[in-house]
Chain A
C-alpha cells in the first residue's frame, strides 16, 4: 500500500515538474518573441529626405507609398499599393543599392533599375533614405467629396459628379485621372482604390465628373453601380497622369471606346475654353447603338469647334438599330480618316485590346510611338 502511495506521489511530482518546465519554456519563448518583435521588427523612427528640400521623420518598417501618403505626399498609384499598376515609381538616391524585389520586376526597365528607381508600394522604409520625386507630386492632394449626381450614360456606364468639400479646389489638366477610394461595404472588408479619368471641364475646380463602366465581379464598379447613391461621401486623391493635349499645331486623332471617352471629353472642353481650333477627328467605337452616348453633346461641340469631326462606329449594329453610320472596328475608320502622319498626334483611351490594335495600326501607317499618347494604367 505504502509503495503504491509513494508511486502515485512520484508520478504527481513528475507531472508537476513537466508542467513547470513546459510553462517556463513557453514563457521564455514568449519573452524572446516579444523581444525580437520590439527590436528586429521595430525599425524605430527613420528619416526620409525628399529632393534634398524636405526631411520627414516616419515610423520605420512600412511601405514608402503609404508612409508618404500619411505625410500628405501622394505618389501616383492606380491600384492602391498592391503592386499591380507599376505607377508609384520613385528614385531612391540613398542607399544606393539598385536592388529590387521580384514583385517590382515586371514594372521596372533595366535603365530604371540602374538609375535607382523602385516601386514605392513595395519598398519598406527600414533605414534612412533619400528619394527624388517630381515637383508636381507635391500638388497632389486627398479630397473629401460628395456624390451630387449619378446619371446612366448607357446600361453599363454611369457618370458620377463629385463635389469637392471643405472649400477645397482641384486643379487638373484635361486628360488626367484621380484615384477613387471605395470604402468597405457589405461585400468587402477593406478599402480598395481604382483610377478613373476625369471627364469634366477643367475650368470647374469645385467638382469633377467620372465615367465608370461596370465590370462583372469587380469590387469597385459593383459598389459604384449598385450601392453608391446621391449624398454619399467619397475620398479621392489626385490629379495624376501625363495624358493631356500637347501644345503643338499638329492635327489630332482622338480614339476611344466606352468609358474611355472620359479624358478626351475633358480635353475637348479644354480646346473650347482656349479656342484651340486644330484639325481633329474623334473616332468613338461601340458595339451596338445602346453603347453610344452623349451624341447630342458632340453635335453641339462640332458647332463650337468646326475643325473637329466626331465619328461613331458600331462593330455589331442590330437590324432594329437602323444604323446608317460607320460599321466595323475603330481601326477600320482610323485607316480611312488618317491620310498623313507627318503632322499628326494620336490620343487614345479605352480597353487595352483597342489600344493595342490602334497603336499597331498607327505605327504601320508611319506614326511613331512618341506621337501616340495613352494612359499608362491601361
Chain B
C-alpha cells in the first residue's frame, strides 16, 4: 500500500533554503496537493504519459553525462549539456534515494525551446508527479515538455 504523503512536512521542505536555495515552489500559492493534482489533470488532457516523459528526460541526461558540461547534438534535433557536481542530494519528499547533483540544459532546435532540469527533477516527476511550482527554477511545464521532447 502506498504511504499517504505528509504534505505539510513536504511543503516545508520545498520552501527556499531547506533543500535548495530557491526552493521548489516558486511563486505558486496553490497547495502542494493542488499543484500535483492540477498537473496530473493536465497530463491527461495533453494525452501524454509520465513514463514517456521520464524515458525521454533520462535519455538526454545519459547522452550528455560523460561530456562534462560540453554541449552535444543528439539525434540532430536536440542540443544537450549536463553539468554534474560532486556530492549527492536528497529528495524533499524524504523518500529513499539520493540523486547526483546535475544541471541538464536541453534545447529543442526546431523550435528553439530550452528546458532545464536535474536528476532530482526526473525523480520528483517519476515518483511524486511533481513538476515544480509555477515560477520555480526547475518547473517543467507539461505543455512545453510535450513539444520539446516530441511526445
Q: Which residues of A contact B (CB under 8 A)?
A: 78-79, 82-85, 102-103, 105-106, 187-189, 194-195, 213, 215-219, 222, 257, 285, 287, 315-316, 329-331, 350-354, 356-357, 360, 375, 377-378
Contact = CB atoms under 8 A, between A and B. Distances in A.
Contact of B86 (A83, A103, A106, A352): A352
B98 A357 contact: no
20 contacts: A84-B87, A84-B90, A102-B96, A187-B17, A188-B17, A189-B18, A195-B87, A213-B85, A215-B85, A217-B22, A218-B20, A219-B17, A285-B68, A329-B68, A351-B69, A351-B86, A352-B100, A353-B83, A357-B66, A357-B67
Nearest to A361: B66
B4 interface: no
B70 interface: yes
A304 B18 CA distance: 47
A353 B103 CA distance: 12
A240 to B, nearest CB: 14
A331 B67 CA distance: 9
Given A287-B69, A357-B68, 8 more contacts: A84-B88, A84-B98, A85-B87, A187-B17, A215-B85, A216-B103, A216-B137, A329-B67
Given A103-B96, A217-B20, A217-B21, A377 B87 contact: yes
Residue of A102, A216, A315, A352 contacting most chain B CB atoms (<10 Å) = A352
B108 interface: no
B110 interface: no
B87 A356 contact: no
Nearest to A185: B17
Nearest to B86: A378
A360 B67 CA distance: 13
A217 B66 CA distance: 22
A219 B21 CA distance: 5
A215 B101 contact: yes
A353 B21 contact: no
Interface string B8-21: 00000000111011
Interface in B5-35: 16-18, 20-22
Contacts of B66: 331, 353-354, 356-357, 360
B17 A85 contact: no
